[in-house]
Amino acid sequence: MLQPTNVPERPQRHVGGWWGPAVGVSALGFYAAVTAEGTPGREIGFNADHPWAVYAFMAALVGLMGYGFVRHAGLWMVGRPTPGLLREIPHRLRNAARLGLAQDKVRRDRYAGIMHWCIFSSIVVLTIVTAQVAIEADFPLKFLHGPYYLFFSFYGDLFGVIGLIGVGMALYRRYFSDFHRIRWDERVEDHLIILGLGLVLLTGFLLESARILVTELDQHPDWAPWSFASYALALGLDVFDFSEGQILWLHTWTWWVHITMAFGWLGLIVFTRLDHLFFAPVNAFFLRTDSPGRLAKIEDIEQQEVFGVGYIQDFTWKQLFELDACVRCGRCSEVCPANIAGQPLSPMHLIQDLKGHLANVGPAIQRHQHETGEIGREVSSVALVGDVIKDETLWACRTCGACVQECPVMIEHVPTIVDMRRFLVMNEARIPATAQAALENLEMRGHPWRGTALERTTWMEGLGDVPIFDGSQEYLYWVGCSGSLVERNLPITTAVFRLLREAGTSFGVLGQEETCNGDPARRLGNEYLYQILAQQLIETFKAKNVQKVITNCPHCFNTFKNEYPQFDGHFEVLHHTEFLAGALQNGKLVAKHTVATNVTYHDSCYLGRLNGVYDAPRQIISMVHGANLTEMQRNLSKGLCCGAGGGNMWQEEVGERRVNHVRAEEAVRTGAESVISNCPFCIQMFEDGVPAVHPEEEGRMKPFDVAELLEQAVFGPGAR
Amino acid sequence: MHIVVCAKQIPDPETPPSAFKIDAANNKVIPAQGIAPVLSQFDGIAAEAALRIKEANAGSKVTVISMGAESAQAAIKQVLAMGADEGVLLNDPAFEDGDSHTTATVLAAAIKKLGDVDAVFCGRQAADWDMGQVGLLIAEDLGWPAAIIAKGVTTGGAGLQVTRVLENGFESLEAPLPAVVTVSNEFGEPRYPKLPQIMAAAKKTVTNWKIADLGLDAGAVGKAGSRLKLERLFIPEKGGKVELMEGDTPQAQAAALVARLKAEKIL
């Protein structure tokens, strides 16, 4: 099988980061150490007359952390119970290890990944180093001597240096580069954290070099080089010919500075974003185990007092917990299509605004709940939706999941945004006019396309016999509202139909009996309408004995596949690209005609990022002779939304630019003749966006569906 | 203040042209299959106008009445979900196939029966037949003043302050109560119902009044009372004919075209 012409970025899957090389270097050190001669060792607590100070600091730190935990936990607990968090424990533990400890998501930004690993591994290893010193000093167990002592000295220095490299990289990024996102919400603590850690590490080296200068440099010249960095520093200090008294004085003072700063820095965990040290792995454990394309079902919707989340305490406590995990790194906002287009949504600021609101009103709510046992929605006069989070912010979200995908601490922004949208729509009925028209149309006419002159059967004209699904066929070909009621998408529908027929597939369509499966209603926040539409359609499917469905549209695909099981609708669902790629592979379809064309491919969010179907469409393109694929800069899991997701197909955009213009620009930049996608919304957005960024008609890029390209290859160019 | 909103359920104006069929023999529209009837859009706007007045005047009440088939319950429920307090359905075979005049007779009888009504709001016209007469005829029957095609209605002065849309501008009127107002699309969009209200509306019972409840004579309503006779109902035929000009050269074709146009007396 042919491969795509250039290999695009793949989601990273390897686990463990740079622990491999680090452990390797350490092992070499270990080997060298055990082969060393003599019984090296050192006096623990050398020249430090106040070991009690360490324990006093430690007690204070533990107390502080206890206080911090109680304070945080009290705020989380104003939220609702979070169902299902203890289900699938093994999967969750894997997430905590893979995403929390191995930091798979941090490494999606390579520079940050290296920097973060350096700092993280350094803190972990140096904590272990310090713990060993404490054990050696105050417990009967004695092991810091002999070869192990040398090895201990070696890796202690190694990870100290690694830590300094990390700090250096962080300093460069923060102070000497024009790197934006970490400065979108910069605070004093950010400087404290990085400068503090650098000073802790430097004073550590200074401390050790002072000791080496006094106890090893002359006495044990063969031991000293094992602490290679401190040894080098000691050699440097030796040049100045300080007296032993001066060195000891330096040592004492450095010890105090080092120990105070180290514990002070650890204390920052309680008060600053350093708390992600704990919250990130725990939040990885809490991360959903089902599809990111699925929105939560409101159970017993008719019995709810309030619909959606309009008050901070109506979030689940997990949603409140993850606010605390946020480190303001800006990765979410950096990839957010709305933010990129200068529209009024920045996921990072949204999370920070929620966090700030919780800190403001949480304690009062906590007291109220404690005293009365009631949820206390009347406690705060500040409206969560409207005052804290603006309506237009919630509407700008495309539910594309890019923010969730990038978040290194596993915050799930999209469900939180949709929860607030639900409140806006169902409870308050505050909806942009065009979105309201789409919702009303769904209620009245069972499709979101107000004013369409087409019928659900219009596309069938001229195709001969179109089989109606009656339960005897294997597949239901689900055309969808966009596939049948929007002029531009009709050729895609017929292309898929002809290819299915050509492949000898046993399938039928529902024709006039199709109704919207409810996806736009759910994304626009009208969960009630969604549930009505979904239940109706599931009944229809069951009555007709539908087992397998092929969909035209990734949104229908996601709804059937991930969301209908919430309503006991279990079907085997394929997107047409998956089915067609399979048909090509098993020879049921033959792409015998050459279609000489340069194309680029746009991953729709609901097929790509949210459902992981990246390969099937690319396989089809690669199997079309003559089709030459150039990837866009943002592709695969880093692909940019076309702008239509999350019900934005039916909204007027607010902001500097339109998202589809941004994406069309990226597509045009590849120089391809056409942009291939897999989603009727994306196609419509490109149809509108490309002419806007490329006004001359001549040589203008054309949007096509994968099926339209394949149709040409199977039936011949221009064949209809 | 008690406002009555008259709401009509009509065939969906967005029915695709290909699905719109008529029964020529009986001069009737055949309901399109699978396309549910809807609330006439102007009546939704009239309901919005009434609800805004209700919200601005504490203790007000909005009643929605509809004359039509049993299915018109849905239209009534929709206005109840928007925030109206009560609904009345006027459903009787005797009311069927009437004209604007008989419709107004039935609606006016229902309004009289309700008794304490201060104002009646209608859409400027029903979006199916577009007659635009029922509001005025109700006013005639009740002997109340009427302001039609309003883009703004508020309470104030002697009763209602109404801004009417004219061909070349606007007209501000003050109407004493009780009065009839027909509301135009310039007023604005009807609200989207809140879910708690949808649920409350679903639980409300719609009052059903028959001809006997209104004390009307069967000869005065429906087809029997109708003064308007529908002669013929048909879908206009659209057609086009193409004729290609023959000729070996463009010049010859152009000459043929000119000759042809002259023959048709177009040139």
Question: Residues A187-209: pLDDT tens digits?
Answer: 999 999 999 999 999 999 999 99
Number of A to B CB contacts under 8 A, please give it.
43
Q: What residues of chain B lie within 8 A of the CB of A440, using their CB?
A: 192
Q: What residues of chain B lie within 8 A of the CB of A429, using their CB?
A: 191-194
SS3 category, B182:
strand
B256 Cα to chain A: minimum distance (Å): 35
Nearest by CB: A453 against B12, B17, B33: B17
pLDDT at position A396: 97
Q: Taking residues A60-86, report their average pLDDT.
A: 94
Q: Express each pLDDT in A469-525 by its tens digit.
A: 999 999 999 999 999 999 999 999 999 999 999 999 999 999 999 999 999 999 999
Does position A407 have pLDDT exceeding 80, yes or no? yes
What is the number of helices (H) and of strands (E) in chain A? 27, 8
Q: Express each pLDDT in B194-219 by its tens digit.
A: 999 999 999 999 999 999 999 999 99
Q: What is the CATH number of domain A301-430?
A: 1.10.1060
Is residue B40, in this structure, part of any structural domain at all? yes
Does position A25 have pLDDT exceeding 90, yes or no? no
Distance CA A544, CA A469 (A): 8
**Residues, chain A, total?**
720
Looking at CATH, the fold of the domain delimited by A85-285 is given as Fumarate Reductase Cytochrome B subunit (1.20.950)
Residues B33 and B118 in one domain: yes
Is residue B128, in this structure, part of any structural domain at all? yes
Residue B65 pairs with which residues in a beta bridge?
B6, B88
Shortest CA distance from A514: residue in chain B: B34
CATH code assigned at B161: 3.40.50.620
Is residue B27, in this structure, part of any structural domain at all? yes
Nearest by CB: A455 against B19, B189, B195: B19
Q: What residues of chain A lie within 8 A of the CB of B192, using their CB?
A: 425, 429, 431, 436, 439-440
Does position A7 have pLDDT exceeding 60, yes or no? no
Q: Taking residues A256-281, report their average pLDDT.
A: 94
DSSP B77-104: HHHHHHT-SEEEEE--GGGTT--HHHHH
pLDDT band at A593 (very low <50, low <70, confident <90, very high): very high
The pLDDT > 70 percentage for chain B reads: 100
Residues B22 and B147 in one domain: yes
A471 φψ region: left (φ > 0), alpha (ψ -120 to 50), beta (else):
left
B12 Cα to chain A: minimum distance (Å): 9
**Two tokens, residue A410:** 């596993």
pLDDT at position A21: 67
Residues B177 and B215 in one domain: yes
Shortest CA distance from A435: residue in chain B: B192
Domain A591-715 -> CATH class: alpha beta
pLDDT band at A11 (very low <50, low <70, confident <90, very high): very low
Q: What residues of chain A lie within 8 A of the CB of B193, using their CB?
A: 429
pLDDT at position A3: 36
Q: B139-144 long-range CB contacts below 8 Å, 24 or more apart?
A: B139/B179, B139/B180, B140/B104, B141/B104, B141/B105, B141/B108, B142/B108, B142/B111, B142/B112, B142/B178, B142/B180, B144/B120, B144/B178, B144/B179, B144/B180
Residues B66 and B29 in one domain: yes
Q: What residues of chain B lie within 8 A of the CB of A453, using their CB?
A: 16-17
In a mutational test of the A interface, the residue from B192, B194, B197 whose CB has the highest number of chain A CBs within 10 Å is: B192
Tell whether omega for the bond before B16 is within 30 degrees of 0, i.e. cis: no
Residues B181 and B258 in one domain: no
Is residue B62, in this structure, part of any structural domain at all? yes
Residues B164 and B260 in one domain: no
pLDDT band at A8 (very low <50, low <70, confident <90, very high): very low
Shortest CA distance from A430: residue in chain B: B192
- Please answer whether residues A621 and A6 qualify as being in contact, where contact means their C-beta atoms are separated by less than 8 angstroms: no
HEC-encoded secondary structure of A21-67: HHHHHHHHHHHHHHCCCCCCECCCCCCCCCHHHHHHHHHHHHHHHHH
Q: Taking residues A525-532, report their average pLDDT.
A: 97
What is the number of helices (H) and of strands (E) in chain B? 8, 13
- Please answer whether residues B95 and B72 qualify as being in contact, where contact means their C-beta atoms are separated by less than 8 angstroms: no
B88 Cα to chain A: minimum distance (Å): 22
Q: Are the Cβ atoms of B194 and A427 closer than 8 angstroms?
A: yes
Query: How many other β-carbons are positioned within 10 Å of the β-carbon of residue A221?
Result: 10
Q: What is the mean pLDDT of chain B?
A: 94
Count up the domains in chain B and report the number.
2
Query: How many other β-carbons are positioned within 10 Å of the β-carbon of residue A626?
Result: 14
> What letter represents residue A660's amino acid?
N
B44 Cα to chain A: minimum distance (Å): 12
Does position B141 have pLDDT exceeding 60, yes or no? yes
Question: Burial of B89 by CB count in 10 Å (0-12 exposed, 13-18 middle, 19+ buried)?
Answer: buried
A318 Cα to chain B: minimum distance (Å): 26
Does position A425 have pLDDT exceeding 80, yes or no? yes
Of A550 and A216, the structure prediction assigns the larger pLDDT to A550
Residue B207 is part of which domain span? 2-225
Distance CA A701, CA A600 (A): 10
Residue with tokens 């009787």: B92
ipTM, two decimals: 0.84
pLDDT band at A720 (very low <50, low <70, confident <90, very high): low
Q: Taking residues B76-103, report their average pLDDT.
A: 96
Q: How far is CA B261 from CA A429, B247, B249, in A?
A: 60, 16, 18
Q: Express each pLDDT in A624-674 by its tens digit.
A: 999 999 999 999 999 999 999 999 999 999 999 999 999 999 999 999 999
Residues B28 and B76 in one domain: yes
Out of A475-489, B14-28, B116-130, which region has the weakest mean confidence (pLDDT)?
B14-28
The pLDDT > 90 percentage for chain A reads: 84
Distance CA A117, CA A104 (A): 11
Q: Are the Cβ atoms of B192 and A431 closer than 8 angstroms?
A: yes
Distance CA A355, CA A87 (A): 27
B235 Cα to chain A: minimum distance (Å): 16
pLDDT at position A19: 66
Residue with tokens 């109704």: A515
Q: Taking residues A41-67, report their average pLDDT.
A: 83
Does position A63 have pLDDT exceeding 80, yes or no? yes
* The dihedral formed by the CA atoms of A153, A156, A161 and A163, expressed in degrees to the nearest 10: -170
Does position A374 have pLDDT exceeding 70, yes or no? yes
Residues in chain A whose Cβ is within 8 Å of chain B: 302, 307, 425-429, 431, 433, 436, 439-440, 444-445, 450-455, 458, 512-513, 528
Q: Are the Cβ atoms of B16 and A451 closer than 8 angstroms?
A: no
Is residue B208, in this structure, part of any structural domain at all? yes
Residues in chain B whose Cβ is within 8 Å of chain A: 12, 14, 16-19, 33-36, 38, 189, 191-196, 198-199
Does position A6 have pLDDT exceeding 80, yes or no? no
Is residue B46, in this structure, part of any structural domain at all? yes
Which residue ranges make up each domain of chain A?
85-285, 301-430, 455-584, 591-715
pLDDT at position B127: 93
Shortest CA distance from A437: residue in chain B: B192
pLDDT at position A260: 94
Shortest CA distance from A433: residue in chain B: B189
DSSP A187-247: -HHHHHHHHHHHHHHHHHHHHHHHHHHHHTTTT-TTTGGGSHHHHHHHHHHHTT---HHHH
A444 Cα to chain B: minimum distance (Å): 7
- Please answer whether residues B63 and B88 qualify as being in contact, where contact means their C-beta atoms are separated by less than 8 angstroms: yes
Out of A145-154, A511-520, B87-96, B97-106, which region has the weakest mean confidence (pLDDT)?
A145-154
> What letter represents residue B169's amino acid?
G
Residue B3 pairs with which residues in a beta bridge?
B62, B119
Is residue B177, in this structure, part of any structural domain at all? yes
Is residue B234, in this structure, part of any structural domain at all? no
Does position A228 have pLDDT exceeding 60, yes or no? yes
Q: Are the Cβ atoms of A445 and B12 closer than 8 angstroms?
A: yes
Cβ contacts of A704 within 8 Å, gap of 6 or more: A599, A674, A675, A676, A677, A683
Residue with tokens 């089809």: A620
Looking at CATH, the fold of the domain delimited by A455-584 is given as Rossmann fold (3.40.50)
Distance CA A445, CA A292 (A): 29
B215 Cα to chain A: minimum distance (Å): 35
pLDDT band at A139 (very low <50, low <70, confident <90, very high): confident
In a mutational test of the B interface, the residue from A300, A309, A424, A426 whose CB has the highest number of chain B CBs within 10 Å is: A426
pLDDT at position A14: 45
Does position A12 have pLDDT exceeding 80, yes or no? no
**Two tokens, residue A408:** 């290194």
- Please answer whether residues A163 and A126 qualify as being in contact, where contact means their C-beta atoms are separated by less than 8 angstroms: yes
Residues B185 and B262 in one domain: no
Most confident segment among A137-146, A235-244, B120-129: B120-129
